[in-house]
Chains A and B, each alone.
Chain A
Amino acid sequence: MSVLVARDVTRDYPMNGEIVHALRGVSLSVSPGEYVAIAGPSGSGKSTLLQVIGGIDVPSSGSVELLGTRLDTLDDRALTRLRLLRLGFVFQRFHLLPVLTALENVELPMAEAGVPRGERRERARSLLDYVGLGTRGSHRPTQLSGGEMQRVAIARALANRPAIVLADEPTGELDTATGADILALFRRLNLDGTTLIVVTHDDRLAAEAGRVVHMFDGRVRS
């Protein structure tokens, strides 16, 4: 059984007075525990595909079924809850809250999910240990390097034990050495059983994946 099934998904949106056809009939299926890289040049639609399958964008046509639920049947509240509890997001620019410490940033999704304070603190600490930042919990994002911030973002994505982690260019803002650390972390994550869908145009990151989906001009090439 697939954790994700996208069928003939299109996504059009207006930009500068013109309609952009970001996705032109994309179909994709991901099995549990799979590590899928979505690769392709800029403007090929890979980030849009990630947003659509992650329920933060709505397809113009076609359907997305996530963990057995068709996303178009959910209202905003249910969709938000699904993202909170079943998905983990990692973004290129980390987007941590600068006013919270690393530990508090990791706790945030758990607090939203109603996890008791003591339990979420303990889990946040163990997640920071997992990503190698056990001693940096009290630091604010501005006191961390780019690689460290991305690792905190990954710990945050894992906070509510998601079924799938979706990452959009997670090494895009990092230098080569730091990017390699993140690659290793993703590999470990997948080995520990997390389903990963990673959008990248980093060949090294794509090479780590079990399957690479190539996109071009809004379509899947292979």
Chain B
Amino acid sequence: MGWGFRNLLRHPLRTALSLAGIAVAAAMLLDMVMLSGGIERSFARLLLSRGYQIRVTPAGTLPFDAEATLPNASRIRDRLRADPGVAAAGAILGANVHARRGDSLLTLFAYGIEPDAQGIYEVESGRDLHRGEADGLLLSGAAALALGARVGDTIRLTGRLDPQLAGSGADRTLVTRGIVRWLYDYRGQRSVGLALGTLQEMTGRAAGDRVSLFMVKARDGVDPAALAAALRRQFPGAAVNSIADLVAAFRVRMLYFRQLSYILGTVSLLVTVLLVATLLTITVNERLGEIVTLRAIGVSRLHVVAQLVAEGAALTILGAAGGVALGLATARYLDAILTSFPGLPAAFSFFVPRADAIALAGAVLICTGTLAGLYPAWRASRLPIAATLRAEAT
């Protein structure tokens, strides 16, 4: 007859407060589940966003360290492209450049790219650079805004500032060809992209043919880990890492995040257990007369337990449903705060909502809440009928 479930409506305020408590605990649990695996997944997804599974960088560095460079880039690139396991390989150079806007000098981060093999941007408007297009320029939205530039506009960039002359050297005038989204930029980063050779010349890295890293895409059917191992042997002076290697290194660094999420997730489960158990204990104590009367008129222990457990389960399910909405909203809010930290790619997420994470958090919570109702329910079903009726009568 569902009297257990309907009992929740008996004290609407108490039920609402309990639901709010469970929803907060559920939201916390969900956020912690998303956080525990989300950072790693987001990192891997980000690194793989254009399908380049291997990074070749100067030894001892991880992408993207603009100060450390690899020499003889053309030779390395040719060797990489000659490898039968490699589908595509492109070099990237990172450096600061400068542009004038009125009386101000803006510092911009510049990517030297090979547009036919790049894994770091997506064109949003305009067009990509053509291969060998030495005077073309790509701007991030923030750079375009700061420069007041649109597609087709001409921008003068300075590669090196000479503090002694209070002037600049290695200036180039470039034509804006497209507005792009740089995948590894932090929020609001003013970035520009230009042909690798042009940037090398502007920043004095043409001598030695230096670049910051190579991105390598394995051919279909080639195991990226095996290819990375082979490349490691070919280029002993460089660091060759597959995405799996980078994620593993990242996992070690993020260990404390996972530990924190486990602890907070456990706390939220305990809070749920305490809330449900407390509420059911209170409600059982208030209804001793009712419960023993049911037993007296022939309602089985099992039925009493089932109704009270259903009451706890209903409370947990409703609280969990509210918790999912709350958890997703708080995750989004927290993500917006955390990813606004300087130096962190804007495309990176700490909380990755996944159906399996939501289902896992929901299932764990509902099981926990249901089990939390078992003890008060069991206790209620074992009440001595006559003694309880006697106590109720006095």
Residues of A bordering B, CB below 8 Å = 13, 47-48, 51-52, 54, 56-57, 76-77, 80-85, 87-89, 91-93, 95, 97-100, 104, 107-109, 111-113, 156-157, 160
Check A48–B386 contact: CB distance below 8 A: yes
Q: A98-B10, A112-B303 are in contact. Are A80 and B295 (CB under 8 A)?
A: yes
Check B300–A56 contact: CB distance below 8 A: no
Check B386–A56 contact: CB distance below 8 A: yes
> With a CB–CB cut-off of 8 A, which chain A residues contact B295?
56, 80
B294, chain A: closest CB distance, angstroms: 8
> With a CB–CB cut-off of 8 A, which chain A residues contact B294?
97, 108
Of all chain B residues, the one with the shortest Cβ separation from A168 is B389
Residues of B bordering A, CB below 8 Å = 1, 3, 6-7, 9-10, 289-290, 293-301, 303, 385-387, 389-390, 392-393
Q: A13-B387, A51-B386, A57-B386 are in contact. Are A109 and B297 (CB under 8 A)?
A: yes
A23 to B390, CA, bound (A): 15
> With a CB–CB cut-off of 8 A, which chain A residues contact B293?
89, 91, 95
Check A112–B299 contact: CB distance below 8 A: yes
A91 to B300, CA, bound (A): 19
Check A156–B301 contact: CB distance below 8 A: no
Check A100–B1 contact: CB distance below 8 A: yes
> With a CB–CB cut-off of 8 A, which chain A residues contact B301?
76, 80
> With a CB–CB cut-off of 8 A, which chain A residues contact B10?
98-99
A179, chain B: closest CB distance, angstroms: 18
A48 to B387, CA, bound (A): 10
A84 to B387, CA, bound (A): 20
Of all chain B residues, the one with the shortest Cβ separation from A77 is B300
Check B297–A83 contact: CB distance below 8 A: yes
Partner of A51, one of B3, B289, B303, B385: B385
Partner of B296, one of A56, A98, A99, A112: A56
> With a CB–CB cut-off of 8 A, which chain B residues contact A13?
387
A107 to B1, CA, bound (A): 9
A84, chain B: closest CB distance, angstroms: 2
A140, chain B: closest CB distance, angstroms: 10
Partner of B298, one of A51, A84, A93, A100: A84
Partner of B1, one of A47, A84, A87, A108: A108
Check A99–B7 contact: CB distance below 8 A: yes
Q: A48-B386, A51-B386, A92-B393 are in contact. Are A83 and B3 (CB under 8 A)?
A: no
> With a CB–CB cut-off of 8 A, which chain A residues contact B303?
112
B147, chain A: closest CB distance, angstroms: 69
A109 to B296, CA, bound (A): 11
> With a CB–CB cut-off of 8 A, which chain B residues contact A52?
386
Q: A99-B7, A99-B9, A100-B6 are in contact. Are A80 and B300 (CB under 8 A)?
A: yes
Check B6–A99 contact: CB distance below 8 A: yes
A131 to B290, CA, bound (A): 22
> With a CB–CB cut-off of 8 A, which chain B residues contact A88?
297
Q: Across chains A and B, which 6 residue pairs bring their CB atoms closest together, nearest first?
A: A84-B298, A57-B386, A95-B293, A99-B6, A56-B385, A83-B298
Check B298–A109 contact: CB distance below 8 A: yes
Of all chain A residues, the one with the shortest Cβ separation from B302 is A77
Check A95–B385 contact: CB distance below 8 A: no
> With a CB–CB cut-off of 8 A, which chain B residues contact A98?
10
Q: A80-B298, A100-B1, A100-B3 are in contact. List 4 more A-B contacts (CB 8 A).
A: A47-B393, A56-B295, A57-B385, A93-B393
> With a CB–CB cut-off of 8 A, which chain B residues contact A107?
1
Q: A56-B385, A57-B385 are in contact. Are A93 and B289 (CB under 8 A)?
A: yes
A93 to B293, CA, bound (A): 10
> With a CB–CB cut-off of 8 A, which chain B residues contact A93?
289, 392-393
> With a CB–CB cut-off of 8 A, which chain B residues contact A80?
295, 298-301
B103, chain A: closest CB distance, angstroms: 76
A27 to B299, CA, bound (A): 28
A77 to B295, CA, bound (A): 11
Q: Can you list 12 residue pairs at the A/B interface with Cβ under 8 Å?
A: A51-B389, A56-B295, A80-B301, A81-B298, A83-B297, A84-B297, A84-B298, A100-B1, A100-B3, A100-B6, A108-B297, A113-B298
B331, chain A: closest CB distance, angstroms: 37
Check A112–B298 contact: CB distance below 8 A: yes
Residue in A47, A54, A88, A91 whose Cβ sees the most chain B Cβ within 10 Å: A91
> With a CB–CB cut-off of 8 A, which chain A residues contact B299?
80, 84, 108-109, 112
> With a CB–CB cut-off of 8 A, which chain B residues contact A51?
385-386, 389
A82 to B301, CA, bound (A): 14
Of all chain B residues, the one with the shortest Cβ separation from A112 is B299
A99 to B303, CA, bound (A): 17
Of all chain B residues, the one with the shortest Cβ separation from A83 is B298
A88 to B297, CA, bound (A): 7
> With a CB–CB cut-off of 8 A, which chain B residues contact A56?
295-296, 385-386, 389
> With a CB–CB cut-off of 8 A, which chain A residues contact B387?
13, 57
Of all chain A residues, the one with the shortest Cβ separation from B5 is A99
Partner of B297, one of A57, A77, A100, A157: A157
A104 to B3, CA, bound (A): 10
Check A95–B289 contact: CB distance below 8 A: yes
Of all chain B residues, the one with the shortest Cβ separation from A97 is B3
Of all chain B residues, the one with the shortest Cβ separation from A172 is B393
B68, chain A: closest CB distance, angstroms: 71
Residue in A76, A85, A107 whose Cβ sees the most chain B Cβ within 10 Å: A76
Check A95–B1 contact: CB distance below 8 A: no
B392, chain A: closest CB distance, angstroms: 7
Check A104–B1 contact: CB distance below 8 A: yes
B296, chain A: closest CB distance, angstroms: 5
A204 to B37, CA, bound (A): 75
